Structure 1
Amino acid sequence: MDHFQARTLSLGSPVAAERELRRMGVDPGGIQRLLPKMSSHCIQIPRLQCRQANILKQEMLALGGDAAVARGSVACSIEASDAILMGTEKQLRQLCTRLARQPFGLPSLGEELSTLLDRIATPAFFWRTSRRELPLTRPLIMGILNITPDSFSDGGRYLDPARAVERAEQMIAEGADIIDIGGESTRPGAPAISAQEEIDRVVPVISAIAKSSSIPLSVDSWKGEVARQAMDAGAEIINDISGLGFDPSLAQVAATSKAGLVLMHTRGTPDGMQRDTEYGDLLAEVMQGLRHSTETALSAGVERELICLDPGIGFAKSAQGNLELLRRLREFQSLGLPLLVGTSRKSFIGAAIGREVHDRLFGTAATVALAVSHGASILRVHDVAAMRDVADMARAIVEG
């Protein structure tokens, strides 16, 4: 019996697919024709009318792909159906063209699908702040600097401004690309503090670091006045855990200052958020929350190139929910914006491996490596030197 040694190929990116075709000696013109056929996509569309779902099913089958719809959709015996489109990029782009000629609002769906495919094919190459463009060709490490007495991991260690500046200098030497400075703990159950107290903690530190270093500085705050004074002191990024949901003035501060803006998903304030961790569809609800935050920012005048998204791992999520977000992180590519992930030393790591907060280095490393492999561009971490190596190694494996 002949053995042909057939095998599957795991080509995680168009770059890897093109490399394999070049290795085989495929004609360069043929490579560009074949690439779209080598990647299959699954795209979910919720709550379609049955007549819309049925047309999508017929069109995908005609193109050589497929679509999953709910039982009862064909007979229109149910009110609505989700659909999962399954096909290559080429088949899905052909579907977009065909939908332009269909009724029932499907031309607008075709336009939306075309935009989504563009976002998947060409992820963001840079993130803009008020002072520069940060290239995303290599994962960025955001070092955490908590000027708080009660943060879950390092509360009280850097309340003295001189020690805080020392710590920033250490993280810069270890390879940090950004320093994220926070004056209010956002750990589960943490009480709120006044804007003035937060300003008194972070502004002197931001000012001192800005005078001694050119590294981009981020202020971790949801309060408009804190962000405004932090930007005046030398920060260029606002990291908002509320996704513009807590203080209506923050959106205008971000727009006026041209700050880089991190919009995170959460549900409820830190003092009560872990009492609300149940979701009907976790990914869909987190994604919808981030879409809403993005629309709020854009409506306030924030430019799209300034926005970065954070799914909020550890914020109003169960331990299993956090793991699911990491597993399915690549789905956030459909939003078309850079992705920041903060898992460092968090309790879901302790729950998975049975380690206390200061013994979660290797657990954190696993989450950072997986986040990079699934499309994260910025990693917010405590252990800068170790996670710099982890992120760079993960990138080397994924991209070669």
Structure 2
Amino acid sequence: MSLQVRHIEIKNREQALEEIAAVGADQAGCRLMAPKAVHRVLKISGLTPVQATILKQEMLARGGDAAVARGVVDHTVEKTDVLLMGTLKQYNAMLAKLELQPFGLAALAGEIRRVLQNLEGRPIRRLDCRGKELVLGERTLVMGILNVTPDSFSDGGRFNDPSRALEHAHRLVEEGADIIDLGGESTRPGHTPVSLEEELRRVIPVLEKLVQEVPVPISVDTTKAAVAREALEIGAHIINDQWALRADPEMAAVVARYGVPVILMHNQVGTEYEDLMGDIIRFFRESIAMAMEAGIGTDKIIIDPGIGFGKTVEQNLEIMNRLPELACLGLPVLLGTSRKSMIGKTLDLPVEQRLEGTAATVAIGIAAGVDIVRVHDVKEMVRVARMTDAMVRPIS
């Protein structure tokens, strides 16, 4: 056999164990060496110079490293970000020492451990949707879009009639949709907000038919607690909130009362960010805290990075490239890119010609670890999802 040098990408401890075992190492050696094969870079924000100095010293002492602001040494900065760099073995040794330190570092050690564990991969989850079960993690789930609005950017006005909407929902299920997402208010750029009464008038007659006849869970896309309450009374299974419990102060309590899963989407007014992914993850942590305070368990929460909402095209493309960073939250991720302007502006194509662009985003999203894709073209995207799953998900 001729000599060969090649690169092996190690994503987590389990994969490290497999690769080391494949070389022929014994079990004890595999267990000892696996934490050395996984390298993590973590960014921690808002530390004092004292906290940052201790972190850097402890990482350096174990062969890792930490980047801090220049002013940390002479305390000319009040706060600093810290970029930690090390293997799992180095982190584990550092955290054992950090847990004994003052200055709030013991609590920080606990948070670092949670993030490191989340990066090892999410377990298969069984999501109870009021008696209808969704399994997350075995394969990518496909959410079919059903808009009952006259002004949606893609299919506005096509399914306003309840009978036509029901017919379309059945078609989506036949094509492979695992969830139907019903929305009664357009969220396209420049849309006109609708009243509570008008949203109920659009959604409720369709929902009454869907919950009786459609076999998959029905998600209701709304930011209004009153719409969510009425929909849940009728039998909706999931609430999809495009303002992550922030648009209506009653939304969290409504979701908690009915015990349903909730999708929290990132959104903001304007496109200004200090740190794009850092700001998005901070937004999610705040909304997750709101949910938990209201009594919603983390086992009921799904996050959505909100492609196309409060973001420029360039920011949307950057988020697509950095989707794996959402894994630090340890929650299922939904991705909604179908036919969106990010695709239209990148390819210079109208809405009706964005199928291939959508397929590219779906494939990249699945490769990056998303669990659910929200799409208009269900038949085609189910095929994309199954092919991508075959390449990126472990064979059971």
- TM-score interval for Structure 1 and Structure 2 normalised by the shorter chain: over 0.9
**1:1-400 alignment, distance < 5 Å:** 4-126=3-125, 127-136=127-136, 137-268=138-269, 276-400=270-394
SS in 1 for 2:119: helix
1:22 is displaced (CA, Å) by 4.1
Given that 1:148 and 1:184 are in contact with CA atoms closer than 8 Å, whether structure 2 keeps it comes out as yes
Runs of 4+ in 1 over 6 A off after TM superposition: none
What is the one-letter code of the residue matched to 1:310?
A: D
Q: After superposition, what is the alpha-carbon deviation per residue over 1:164-200, rounded to whole angstroms, capped at 9, x for unaligned?
A: 1111111111111100000110111111111222112
Q: After superposition, what is the alpha-carbon deviation per residue over 1:288-328, rounded to whole angstroms, capped at 9, x for unaligned?
A: 11111111111111122111111111001010111111111
What is the one-letter code of the residue matched to 2:131?
A: R
Structure 2 Cα separation of the partners of residues 128 and 320 of structure 1: 37
Q: After superposition, what is the alpha-carbon deviation per residue over 1:12-68, rounded to whole angstroms, capped at 9, x for unaligned?
A: 454544443343333344333333222211100112111211111111111121111
**Which residues of structure 1 form unaligned runs of 5+?**
269-275
Change (3 A) 1:35 1:132: farther
SS in 1 for 2:245: coil
1:229 is displaced (CA, Å) by 1.5
Structure 1 Cα separation of the partners of residues 147 and 71 of structure 2: 54
1:221 is displaced (CA, Å) by 0.5
SS in 2 for 1:121: coil
Structure 1 Cα separation of the partners of residues 79 and 145 of structure 2: 45
Change (3 A) 1:160 1:310: same
Given that 1:124 and 1:337 are in contact with CA atoms closer than 8 Å, whether structure 2 keeps it comes out as no
Structure 1 Cα separation of the partners of residues 389 and 32 of structure 2: 27
Given that 1:129 and 1:306 are in contact with CA atoms closer than 8 Å, whether structure 2 keeps it comes out as no
1:223 is displaced (CA, Å) by 0.8
Given that 2:12 and 2:119 are in contact with CA atoms closer than 8 Å, whether structure 1 keeps it comes out as no
1:219 is displaced (CA, Å) by 0.2
SS in 2 for 1:72: helix
Structure 2 Cα separation of the partners of residues 61 and 291 of structure 1: 30
What is the one-letter code of the residue matched to 1:109?
A: L
Given that 1:218 and 1:237 are in contact with CA atoms closer than 8 Å, whether structure 2 keeps it comes out as yes
Q: After superposition, what is the alpha-carbon deviation per residue over 1:190-215, rounded to whole angstroms, capped at 9, x for unaligned?
A: 11111222112112222212222320
1:254 is displaced (CA, Å) by 0.3
Q: After superposition, what is the alpha-carbon deviation per residue over 1:255-281, rounded to whole angstroms, capped at 9, x for unaligned?
A: 11111100111113xxxxxxx112121
Given that 2:266 and 2:306 are in contact with CA atoms closer than 8 Å, whether structure 1 keeps it comes out as yes
Q: After superposition, what is the alpha-carbon deviation per residue over 1:70-122, rounded to whole angstroms, capped at 9, x for unaligned?
A: 22322333332211111122221222111012232211111111121122224
What is the one-letter code of the residue matched to 2:24?
A: G
Structure 1 Cα separation of the partners of residues 128 and 311 of structure 2: 29
Given that 2:12 and 2:120 are in contact with CA atoms closer than 8 Å, whether structure 1 keeps it comes out as no
Structure 2 Cα separation of the partners of residues 221 and 80 of structure 1: 39
Structure 2 Cα separation of the partners of residues 129 and 35 of structure 1: 38
1:282 is displaced (CA, Å) by 1.2
Structure 2 Cα separation of the partners of residues 74 and 309 of structure 1: 38
Structure 2 Cα separation of the partners of residues 128 and 312 of structure 1: 24
What is the one-letter code of the residue matched to 1:135?
A: V
Change (3 A) 1:389 1:30: farther
Structure 2 Cα separation of the partners of residues 337 and 166 of structure 1: 33
Structure 2 Cα separation of the partners of residues 29 and 284 of structure 1: 38
Structure 1 Cα separation of the partners of residues 302 and 276 of structure 2: 20
What is the one-letter code of the residue matched to 2:285?
A: R
Given that 1:223 and 1:250 are in contact with CA atoms closer than 8 Å, whether structure 2 keeps it comes out as yes
What is the one-letter code of the residue matched to 1:149?
A: P
Structure 1 Cα separation of the partners of residues 271 and 304 of structure 2: 17
What RMSD, in angstroms, separates the aligned Cα atoms of the two structures?
1.8
What is the one-letter code of the residue matched to 1:144?
A: I
Structure 2 Cα separation of the partners of residues 133 and 84 of structure 1: 40
**Which residues of structure 2 form unaligned runs of 5+?**
none
Change (3 A) 1:338 1:81: same
1:217 is displaced (CA, Å) by 0.5
Structure 2 Cα separation of the partners of residues 177 and 114 of structure 1: 34
